[in-house]
Amino acid sequence: MTIHRLLYRSDMDLAGTAAGIRQQIVEIVRISEARNAADGLTGALLHTRGVFIQVLEGPMPAVEATFERICCDLRHRRVELIELVEAEGRVFGEWSMGRISADQRIERLVSRLPAGEDQVPEAASAHATIQLMRTLMVSGPAQAASSEQLPGTLRGPGG
């Protein structure tokens, strides 16, 4: 079966206290886990202060249908497709919807991810972002922040 992988970023639009927002994200993930598993999708959702970054991987029709629903969701805005590619295999095969809550060091890197149509990161940056998310899923933020792969992961202003 051909697997496609999609990467996007968006601006969170959730109201409430920090704990309330965290609870809403937990709920999004809980519902998505079940739905993605039924649709043969795997992936992960990274959230930092104000930003979502999500990877979805699976059969193209399911990736497309899910992304269409996600785009209509009012809990975030400025949904920006970063990459949609045919993949050799799944990077997040163990998770129908992993949740990554980034610490401050990761937040700094994510905040530098370019936003705006004329600033779509190059494929190498998208690849590095996906690998970082995989590392965060497996090892947690501290491990990822000390890893060699971080400096080139997310392109800063001006590239």
Residues at the interface with ligand FAD (CB under 6 A): 28, 32, 35-36, 45, 52, 54, 56, 66, 69-70, 72-76, 97
Rank residues 76 and 134 by Cβ distance to ligand FAD and give the closer one. Answer: 76
CB of 26 to ligand FAD, least distance (A): 12
Q: How far is the CB of 134 from ligand FAD (least distance, A)?
A: 16
Give the shortest CB-51-to-ligand FAD separation in angstroms: 10
How far lies 122's CA from each of 10, 12, 84, 119, 129, in Å? 17, 23, 12, 9, 11
Nearer Cβ to ligand FAD (5/76):
76
DSSP SS3 for 4: strand
The nearer residue to ligand FAD, 13 or 122, going by C-beta atoms, is 13
Coil/strand/helix, residue 136:
helix
Q: Is 61 helix (H, G, I), strand (E, B) or coil?
A: helix
Q: What are phi and psi of 57, to 5 degrees?
A: -140, 140
Q: How far is the CB of 148 from ligand FAD (least distance, A)?
A: 29
Nearer to ligand FAD, 32 or 125 (CB): 32
Backbone region of residue 19 per phi and psi (left: phi > 0; alpha: psi in -120 to 50; beta: other values): alpha
